[in-house]
Amino acid sequence: MSKIVNEENLETGKNIGIDDFVLLNAGEKTKIGDNSCIHSGSRVIGGGSLVIGNNAVVTYNCVLVTGYPEITSHMSSRIPVEQKDTVRGTIVIGDEAFVGSNSVIMPDTQIGEGAVVAAMSYVDSDVPDWTVRYPDGSTKRRPKLAGYE
């Protein structure tokens, strides 16, 4: 069973999938497009915003961080959020994008249309459209799918 926090801020398209064992904090706003899915063990945390396009996949055990406490703030999750200096942002995952297992995506990051984040990557900057980003930060172009030329 998945757990959704701030469900009133969640907007979903048609035929989406949220697997069991997903923690999704819909935060300020979360939108999941048609035919997109978040697989088992993944977490959306931080209370910011998330936009996932159509036909996109967040695979197993990923962490999408839409917010975090500043280093000058209390770190304990037991301290009320109102008493913390919190950084919040937006993660955008484009149409046909793929986030590989065990990856971490930080706030204010855009994963472009058709982009692939390879498994076990840490991403804190944008990944261009139709690009594969590897865990070491290197990139390679990905061929566009038919209909996206």
- Identify whether 147 is part of a domain: no
- Identify whether 146 is part of a domain: no
Q: Give the whole-angstrom CA distance, residue 102 versus residue 35.
A: 21
pLDDT given for residue 135 in this prediction: 98
- Identify whether 145 is part of a domain: no
Give the residue-averaged pLDDT of 118-126. 98
- pLDDT tens column, 70-119: 888 888 878 887 888 888 999 999 999 999 999 999 999 999 999 999 99
pLDDT given for residue 72 in this prediction: 85
- pLDDT tens column, 41-64: 999 999 999 999 999 999 999 999
- pLDDT tens column, 8-45: 999 999 999 999 999 999 999 999 999 999 999 999 99
- Identify whether 148 is part of a domain: no
- Identify whether 94 is part of a domain: yes
State how many domains the chain has: 1
- Identify whether 9 is part of a domain: yes
- Identify whether 84 is part of a domain: yes
pLDDT given for residue 81 in this prediction: 77
- Identify whether 113 is part of a domain: yes
Residue range(s) defining the domain that contains residue 113: 3-140
pLDDT given for residue 36 in this prediction: 98
CA angle 107, 36, 29 (to 5 degrees): 40
Predicted confidence (pLDDT) at residue 149 exceeds the cutoff of 80 = no
Q: What is the pTM of this model?
A: 0.94
Share above pLDDT 90 across residues of the chain, in percent, rounded to a whole number: 83
pLDDT given for residue 84 in this prediction: 82
CATH number for the domain that contains residue 81: 2.160.10.10
